[in-house]
Chains A and B, each alone.
Chain A
Amino acid sequence: MKTLTSDEIRALPEYRELLHKRRQITIPLCLTMLVTYYGFILMVAYSPATLAQKTSDGVTSVGIWVGLGLIFITFAITAFNVWYVNRHITDLVSRIQAKAVTK
């Protein structure tokens, strides 16, 4: 069994592509999560009246829908990430593994 050294793996074009693709998905999704959550927190802290506004039914507040929406967004981000990784990244990792470890 022969294994490439980590320096050799780093020189593989597939490895560069892997890092590039990871960055492409991780950074925007992380930012989306941080911005939506801290946006929400700042709204709770500085402008609770915005969240207290009633929606058209006269009872439910905007805050309730925003809060429930955040729960959905959180799940959507994780699901989208795994879908993206399976579609664009898993195969790349297998190719790198196949090149790096030859039996």
Chain B
Amino acid sequence: MSEYLATVNLTAVVIFLAFVAVTLSITYWASKRTRTTKDFYSAGGQITGFQNGLAIAGDYMSAASFLGISGLVFASGFDGLLYSIGFLVGWPIILLLIAGPLRNLGRYNFSDVVSFRFSQNPIRILAACGSLTTVALYLIAQMVGAGKLIEILFHLPYSSAVVIVGLLMIAYVTFGGMLATTWVQLIKAVLLLLGASTIAFLVLFSFNFNITAMFSKAVEVHSKGGAIMAPGGLVKDPISAISLGLALMFGTAGLPHILMRFFTVKDARQANRSVVVATGFIGYFYILTFIIGFGAIVFLTGNTSYVDANGALVGGNNMAAVQLAHAVGGSVMMGFISAVAFATILAVVSGLTLAGASAISHDLYARVFKAGKATEKQEMKVSRLATVGLGLLAMVLGISFENQNVAYMVGLAFAIAASANFPVLLLSMYWRGMTTRGAVIGGSLGLGSAIVLMLLSKTVWVSVLGFEHTLYPDEFKAMFSITEYPALLSMTVAFLGIWFFSVTDHSARAEIDRKAFDAQYVRAQTGIGADDPLDH
């Protein structure tokens, strides 16, 4: 192993400890202001549009996307850009169709919105299942990423790294709720943007800001040569390309921890503003990761401090950004980026856990189990217990899935969100004909088909679960390639299912569901009634 990785980076440790100290103080401050469920789930609705936009960007700029995408650009150039674009293009859709109505109809999480005019129990249960599945997959990806990173950078055993992340996250969320989670995310977002900007600046500076010169040098040294400037083998066939595109674009609009952030602002106008701010920061960040990836090609390739005898990056491709930080800014820069990457994981898992906890305490406990009769105090208690439970579960999952491909897990979380949460959310807002039965059956079919297809895929069945052969015979390989990127099929199943089981629904409940649409639409469009204090 390279010499500078063999010792613990002191800068990284100091910066990280400072981050922990600051965020724990914020948590203490936030805990004094977190008394009601409204405080706990939505920071009392007092976050500004700009802050929320930056926090959303922070949720999105996870370690998986920072390290993963810059690593992907390092490995295959242009193909890395494909992923960034896919992650970004969902935002206008959220702004145009989802953000305003979401804020106007819900209070704490997206289940409030999808259950607005339907029979509460079945829809809440469905939405909670969709949320928890998405959150669990996303959590695994973040925990595994965290463990790996900390193992390399701080020389802690993988399992202790996972436990540290889990404990800190439990502390932030249990005591500080959404307020602490938002501030942790804001601080980290600023640090990450600063760090990534500095590295990208140093890379461009060394080429006198001549992008062509940087690209030429990269093409010259990369083992794939000119191929790094063109679409390559990342996505093998058109169907997979479209399917992945669908998952990335519409998955964003179904991620429970992102949707939850829209309830932390005052009104629909601030919700819209936060999308523009978030899109701006995320777009800028992806441009940085692109420059960083190319910088890594130029600075790390062939440099024996960073690559082994076979030309592979020490610590794997995901370490490209961290290694580049060392190459252009020395061990202080590398320490800074390492600490920020660690902080990033903490901030993102906190948001995820809060979203998961709300599905358990707000949907399953308060609305379904207690039929809406739970007291404020009881719901708070359950939400805190749920946080601790999810934190422990995240540690167990993180440790048991140690060797999984992080980027692929994130992809699966997006596919599930796009197939289970997004269709129900979109149609509940815009299609008068949707009924409780249609939503529940269609949504379950979307969730179920996405999970089954995922399980059938070679990546999950063989690589993750360790079976020797796929369940389908080898000669049908081409036909089953859809299982690797299931969104095209599972989203279609969800939309068709909702449509079919709604239009054939002639029950008395269906009448109520359809009749309630007009009033819901008025509120979604105008916000009238959105702040009624009826639950306080």
Contact yes or no, A37 B249, CB < 8 A? yes
Docked CA distance A101–B241 (Å): 49
- Give chain A's interface residues, CB within 8 Å of chain B: 3, 6-7, 9-10, 15, 18-19, 22, 26, 29-30, 33, 37-38, 40-42, 44-46, 48-49, 51-52, 54, 57, 59-61, 63-64, 67-68, 70-72, 74-75, 77-79, 81-82, 85-86, 90, 93, 96-97, 100-101
Closest to A55 in B: B212
Closest to A37 in B: B89
Contact yes or no, B229 A64, CB < 8 A? yes
- 9 closest A-B pairs by beta carbon, nearest first, are A52-B230, A45-B238, A6-B519, A61-B229, A48-B231, A45-B241, A6-B522, A67-B81, A77-B92
Chain B, interface size category, equals 35 or more
Min C-beta distance of B217 to chain A, whole Å: 9
Chain B interface, >50% SS class? helix
Docked CA distance A64–B307 (Å): 27
- Residue B3 at the A interface, CB < 8 A? no
A29-B96, A30-B96 known; A67+B526 contact, CB < 8 A: no
Contact yes or no, B242 A85, CB < 8 A? no
Contact yes or no, B88 A71, CB < 8 A? yes
- Give chain B's interface residues, CB within 8 Å of chain A: 78, 81-82, 84-85, 88-89, 91-93, 95-97, 211-212, 215-216, 219, 229-231, 235, 237-238, 241-242, 245, 249, 269, 272-273, 275-276, 279-280, 283, 286-287, 290, 518-519, 522-523, 525-529
Contact yes or no, A6 B272, CB < 8 A? no
Closest to B82 in A: A44
Contact yes or no, A64 B88, CB < 8 A? no
Chain A interface, >50% SS class? helix
Query: Chain B contacts of A51 at CB under 8 A?
Result: 78, 230-231
Q: Looking at the complex, which one of A59, A86, A93 makes contact with B229 (CB distance below 8 Å)? A: A59
Contact yes or no, B237 A45, CB < 8 A? yes
Contact yes or no, A74 B283, CB < 8 A? yes
Q: Looking at the complex, which one of A7, A74, A96 makes contact with B526 (CB distance below 8 Å)? A: A96
Contact yes or no, B85 A78, CB < 8 A? no
Min C-beta distance of B257 to chain A, whole Å: 20
Contact yes or no, A64 B96, CB < 8 A? no
Contact yes or no, B89 A63, CB < 8 A? no
Query: Chain A contacts of B276 at CB under 8 A?
Result: 75, 78-79, 81-82
Contact yes or no, A41 B242, CB < 8 A? yes
Docked CA distance A19–B525 (Å): 8
Query: Chain A contacts of B286 at CB under 8 A?
Result: 71
Query: Chain B contacts of A71 at CB under 8 A?
Result: 84-85, 88, 283, 286-287
Contact yes or no, A93 B96, CB < 8 A? no
Closest to A26 in B: B96
A71-B85, A71-B283 known; A100+B528 contact, CB < 8 A: yes
Closest to B239 in A: A45
Min C-beta distance of A61 to chain B, whole Å: 4
Min C-beta distance of A91 to chain B, whole Å: 11
Contact yes or no, A97 B528, CB < 8 A? yes
A6-B518, A64-B81, A97-B527 known; A78+B242 contact, CB < 8 A: no
Contact yes or no, B85 A70, CB < 8 A? yes
A81-B96, A82-B272, A82-B273 provided; 20 other pairs, C-beta below 8 A? A3-B528, A6-B518, A6-B519, A15-B525, A19-B525, A33-B96, A41-B241, A42-B242, A45-B241, A51-B230, A59-B216, A60-B215, A63-B78, A67-B81, A68-B287, A78-B280, A81-B95, A82-B95, A90-B269, A97-B526
Closest to A36 in B: B89
Query: Chain A contacts of B241 at CB under 8 A?
Result: 41-42, 44-45
Q: Looking at the complex, which one of A38, A60, A67, A75 makes contact with B242 (CB distance below 8 Å)? A: A38
A71-B84, A74-B283 known; A26+B212 contact, CB < 8 A: no
Min C-beta distance of A34 to chain B, whole Å: 8
Contact yes or no, A75 B96, CB < 8 A? no
Query: Mind listing 24 A-B residue pairs with CB under 8 Å?
Result: A15-B526, A29-B92, A30-B92, A30-B96, A41-B242, A44-B235, A44-B241, A45-B235, A45-B237, A51-B231, A52-B231, A59-B215, A59-B219, A61-B230, A63-B231, A67-B82, A68-B81, A71-B85, A74-B92, A75-B279, A75-B283, A79-B279, A81-B95, A97-B527
Min C-beta distance of A87 to chain B, whole Å: 13
Contact yes or no, B78 A38, CB < 8 A? no
Contact yes or no, A85 B272, CB < 8 A? yes
Docked CA distance A57–B214 (Å): 12
Min C-beta distance of B437 to chain A, whole Å: 24
Min C-beta distance of B103 to chain A, whole Å: 13
